[in-house]
């Protein structure tokens, strides 16, 4: 592409500039046209050319050897250098058992992140593997300052909030809720047909909001199971539901959280394995839903982890991802939820469902909720329809 004439430069000035270039070329040509110099140059060139032609057979092998050596050195560097190796696994920092406890109104959760063993893992605040039986649930309760990701594995869950939003998620569906400056909602088991007693099982992950978004307007985004792309390994032994992020060359369709997060549901058949890349510098963990999974420890060894455990990985610059497999002889499939998120460089002050950056902000959240102010105005006198049975 040609560079245009700068503004303010006249066509006359432009022509003068071109003329000066031409003049310089003419000057150079005139100074090198001396007959004696031309003869000397021609003789020297002939001597040098004759020498190199006579040595070409000796120089060619040397050149080829140098090229091969250089190529081999570059290849070795690309294979062994930690910064270029795309299959260097992250180390295992901690394995935490998700112990069952009561939560809400009669619901049961297996919690790992958000316990004394693993208080938080920025940007992640809490991880629950929940079971809601008929007659139990999570009636009206507030939130401020975080996002929640609810992934339903079986059954159905109804939700309703003080802004009039209501709906139901079924097996394989997700709901991303941004609490922002404040929301009050209920999460209850969906209606079942007469005689049915199916438990409603799922995962809920709390994700911190960047401090500049703590007081944004609340919002919902639903992701149906049919919208989630599937990725499969060439041998057919690994299937990944790419809820958010990328796996096996398949990218998710929607970016549903303010804080960048990858969320993958991985199923590995017996004898299958996967190396899953993770964005550099992000925190990451895996939750073992079922079966026993072996994770590489980054040092050549592997650690078997049974179901209902959270594996926390390091975020070394040399670790490109997570290596996991379902060994031969396991007797069945292994299912893992693998999550990674961008670390937020900010303090976390949490009091129940309020997650802020200072103690004063937490006190303000409590006061605002009690007074129905600054984001909680619609909470005054509001009661959800789905939660009335628990009142």
- pLDDT for 86 equals 52
- What pLDDT does 26 receive? 35
Please give the mean pLDDT across all residues of the chain.
Answer: 83
18 in a structural domain: no
Token digits for 293?
């999974």
- Render the burial of 64-81: b for 16+ CB within 10 Å, e for the rest: eeeeeeeeeeeeeeeeee
Contact present, 160 and 385 (Cβ < 8 Å): yes
Residue 180: domain span: 92-341
Q: Is the pLDDT of residue 31 over 50?
A: no
- Whether 191 maps to a domain, the answer reads yes
Q: Let me know if residue 144 belongs to a domain.
A: yes
Inter-residue contact 367 to 379 (CB < 8 Å): no
pLDDT at residue 27 tops 70? no
Does position 118 have pLDDT exceeding 60, yes or no?
yes
Point out which residues pair with 284 in neighbouring strands.
Answer: 313, 340
Alpha-carbon gap, residue 294 to 268, rounded angstroms? 11
pLDDT band per the 50, 70, 90 thresholds, residue 232: very high
Number of domains in the chain: 1
Of 56 and 97, the one with more pLDDT: 97
Classify 263 as helix, strand or coil. strand
For residue 362, is it within any domain? no
Residue 61 region by backbone torsions, left for phi larger than 0, else alpha for psi between -120 and 50, else beta: alpha
Q: Which of 201, 214, 200 has its CA nearest to residue 125?
A: 214
Answer yes or no: is 30 within a domain. Answer: no
Return the pLDDT at 11: 37
Residue 42: left (phi > 0), alpha (psi -120 to 50), or beta? alpha
**Residue 14 in this model has a pLDDT that exceeds 90:** no
Looking at residue 294, its pLDDT comes to 98
The 8-class DSSP code of residue 93 comes to E
Note the pLDDT tens digit of each residue in 152-175.
999 999 999 999 999 999 999 999
Place of tokens 């032994």: 237
In this predicted structure, what is the pLDDT of residue 316?
Answer: 80
Which CATH number fits the domain that encloses residue 250? 2.60.120.10
- Distance of alpha carbon 63 from alpha carbon 140, whole angstroms: 78
Q: With 80 as the cut, is the pLDDT of residue 194 above it?
A: no
**Per-residue pLDDT for 67 more than 70?**
no
Q: What is the pLDDT of residue 298?
A: 80
In a domain? residue 386:
no
pLDDT-derived band at 314, boundaries 50, 70, 90 = very high
The DSSP element (H or E) to which 341 belongs, if any, is: strand 334-341
**Residue-wise pLDDT tens digits, 332-341:** 999 999 999 9
Mean pLDDT throughout 315-320?
83
State the DSSP string of 17-65.
HHHHHHHHHHHHHHHT--HHHHHHHHHHHHHHHHHHHHTHHHHHHHHHH
Q: pTM, whole model, 2 decimals?
A: 0.77
pLDDT in tens, 137-153: 999 999 999 999 999 99
Q: What tokens does 1 get?
A: 């592409």
Over residues 254-264, mean pLDDT? 92
Task: Spell out the residues 6+ positions from residue 338 whose beta carbon is closer than 8 angstroms to its own.
Answer: 262, 263, 264, 266, 276, 284, 285, 286, 322, 324
- Whether residue 241 is contained in a domain is answered as yes
Any alpha helices (H) in 106-212, and if so which ranges? none
Q: Look at the alpha carbons of 344, 109, 256, 92 in this order and tell me if their dihedral is positive or negative.
A: positive
Mean pLDDT of 349-364: 98
Cβ-based neighbours of 222, under 8 Å, separated by 6 or more: 167, 169, 173, 174, 175, 176
pLDDT score at 115: 96
Q: What CA dihedral angle connects 77, 79, 81 and 86, to 10 degrees?
A: 140
133 is a domain residue? yes
For residues 56 and 58, give the distance between their C-alpha atoms in angstroms, rounded to a whole number: 5
Q: Please give the helix or strand (H or E) that residue 132 lies within, else none.
A: strand 124-132
Residue 279 pLDDT exceeds 50: yes
């Amino acid at each position: 592409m040609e560079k245009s004439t700068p503004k303010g430069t006249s066509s006359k000035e432009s022509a003068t500039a071109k003329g000066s270039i031409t003049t310089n070329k003419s000057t150079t040509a005139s100074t090198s046209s001396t007959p004696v110099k031309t003869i000397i140059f021609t003789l020297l060139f002939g001597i040098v050319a004759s020498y190199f032609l006579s040595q070409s057979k000796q120089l060619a092998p040397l050149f080829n050897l140098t090229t091969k050596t250089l190529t081999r050195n570059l290849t070795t560097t690309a294979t062994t250098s930690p910064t270029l190796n795309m299959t260097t696994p992250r180390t295992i920092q901690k394995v935490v058992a998700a112990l069952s406890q009561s939560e809400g109104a009669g619901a049961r959760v297996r919690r790992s992140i958000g316990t004394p063993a693993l208080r938080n893992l920025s940007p992640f605040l809490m991880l629950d593997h929940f079971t809601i039986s008929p007659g139990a649930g999570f009636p009206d309760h507030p939130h401020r300052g975080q996002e929640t990701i609810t992934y339903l594995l079986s059954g159905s869950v109804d939700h309703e909030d003080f802004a009039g939003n209501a709906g139901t998620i079924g097996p394989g569906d997700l709901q991303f809720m941004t609490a922002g400056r404040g929301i009050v909602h209920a999460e209850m088991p969906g209606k079942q047909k007469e005689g049915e007693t199916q438990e409603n099982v799922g995962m809920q992950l709390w994700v911190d909001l960047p401090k500049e978004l703590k007081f944004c307007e609340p919002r919902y985004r639903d992701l149906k199971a049919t919208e989630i792309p599937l990725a499969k390994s060439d041998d057919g032994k690994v299937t990944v539901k790419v809820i958010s992020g990328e796996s096996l060359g398949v990218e998710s369709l929607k970016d549903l959280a303010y804080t960048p997060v990858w969320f993958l549901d991985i199923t590995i058949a017996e004898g299958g394995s996967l190396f899953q890349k993770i964005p550099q510098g992000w925190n990451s963990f895996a939750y073992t839903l079922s079966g026993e999974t072996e994770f590489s420890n980054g040092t050549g060894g592997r650690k078997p982890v049974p179901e209902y455990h959270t594996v926390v990985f390091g975020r070394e610059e040399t670790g490109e991802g997570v290596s996991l497999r379902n060994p031969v002889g396991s007797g069945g499939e292994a299912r893992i939820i693998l999550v990674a998120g961008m670390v937020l460089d900010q303090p976390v002050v949490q009091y129940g469902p309020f997650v802020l950056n200072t103690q004063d902000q937490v006190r303000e959240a409590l006061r605002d909720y009690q007074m129905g102010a600054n984001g909680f105005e619609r909470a005054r006198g509001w009661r959800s329809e789905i939660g009335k049975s628990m009142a």
